[in-house]
Amino acid sequence: MHLSDLWFIAIAVLWAGYFVLEGFDFGVGILLPVLGRDDASRRAMINAIGPVWDGNEVWLLTAGGATFAAFPEWYAAMFSSFYLPLLLILVALICRGVAFEYRGKRDSARWRRNWDYAIFGGSLLPAILWGVAFGNVLRGIKLDASHQYAGNFFDLLNPYALLGGLTTLTLFVMNGAVFLALKTDGQVRTGAHAAARWAGPLAVLAGGGFLAWTEASYRSPGTTGKVSVGLAALAAVALVAAVLLSTARREGLAFTGTAAGIACATAALFTALYPNVMPSSLDAAYSLTTANAASTAKTLMVMTVVAGIFLPFVLLYQGWTYWVFRKRIST
């Protein structure tokens, strides 16, 4: 295995971690106006993710930084091609982060209600756009011979990518509902169970359809393609199990199931993509791969050493944070 392949796997792991952890943050934000019947309920929901949401976003920063350092051509092509969607995601994340910090700064119902709208919108938009962006990465975009994007914004709004957006939206809502059922008590917990009952089947249908379409039309041939099919099947099984476990009120196991389903689905998509990192729909010869988009071997070696030293400390610290704030929250 080349170091470029190792860093492709590392970036896939970072995105999987981001979608699992930030996924339930987004889900809680989207469910805020649905389950938050009064200010006390909304406050309990926000407090459930309050100690961890900003730490969860670090997975996105690390994934972007690792892509920039390990695959600069991929980073350049992706961030220039998806400039407008990524700008919208960035603005939404800024508004959402400010809302968490500013919501309680004034004793005013109108003030809190406006920031609640910002939390909802700042969670909903990224939940959709991440799926649209990854759908286009898998499908391929109009990259020319110089790896410049030759299409426009509306080319990104194709049926496959839009199904990807629906998939991430429903998965994150389900993940958020299961997390709230695990982390809260009282009426919020009861409402979270109800939300999981309707969000779960939608996530299974959308996710199953998106993965099936991917495997049928966009997966790589050969061994990696077969692995991708297996991972997609595991994702489907985990999500169905999560729905059943949530219905049975086995909250811890249900959350494990949604996390495993999202992680396996992300792994399946990256495996289907390999060895490409940004396929070209104009000509396969214009595609970016783990070979022609990677940094030098020395750069990858230095990154590997640094990651090997510091990554365990980061994981231990974040795990400790979740342990400290493990108890349920009620109104």
pLDDT at 236: 93
pLDDT at 30: 96
The domain that holds 144 is classified in CATH as 1.20.1630.10
Q: How many domains does the chain have?
A: 1
pLDDT tens-digit profile of 187-200?
999 999 999 999 99
Please indicate, yes or no, if residue 320 is contained in any of the structural domains.
no
Please indicate, yes or no, if residue 312 is contained in any of the structural domains.
no
Distance, in Å, from the CA atom of 72 to the CA atom of 79, rounded to the nearest integer, reads 10
Distance, in Å, from the CA atom of 210 to the CA atom of 40, rounded to the nearest integer, reads 37
Distance, in Å, from the CA atom of 71 to the CA atom of 324, rounded to the nearest integer, reads 36
End-to-end CA distance of the chain: 52
Please indicate, yes or no, if residue 303 is contained in any of the structural domains.
no
Distance, in Å, from the CA atom of 111 to the CA atom of 121, rounded to the nearest integer, reads 16
pLDDT at 216: 86
Please indicate, yes or no, if residue 93 is contained in any of the structural domains.
yes
For each of the chain's 331 residues, which pLDDT tens digit applies?
689 999 999 999 999 999 999 999 999 999 999 998 899 999 999 999 999 999 999 999 999 999 999 999 999 999 889 999 999 999 999 999 999 999 989 999 999 999 999 999 999 999 999 999 999 999 999 888 888 888 888 888 999 999 999 999 999 999 999 999 999 999 999 999 999 999 999 999 999 999 999 988 887 776 566 788 899 999 999 999 999 999 999 999 999 999 999 999 999 999 999 989 999 988 888 899 999 999 999 999 999 999 999 999 999 999 999 999 999 998 8
**Structural domain harbouring 125:** 3-288
Prediction pTM value: 0.94
Distance, in Å, from the CA atom of 200 to the CA atom of 193, rounded to the nearest integer, reads 10
Please indicate, yes or no, if residue 67 is contained in any of the structural domains.
yes
Distance, in Å, from the CA atom of 331 to the CA atom of 324, rounded to the nearest integer, reads 20
pLDDT at 222: 67
Which tokens belong to 242? 């999560």
DSSP letter string, 278-305:
E-BSS-GGG-EETTTT---HHHHHHHHH
The SS3 call for residue 277 is strand
Please indicate, yes or no, if residue 253 is contained in any of the structural domains.
yes
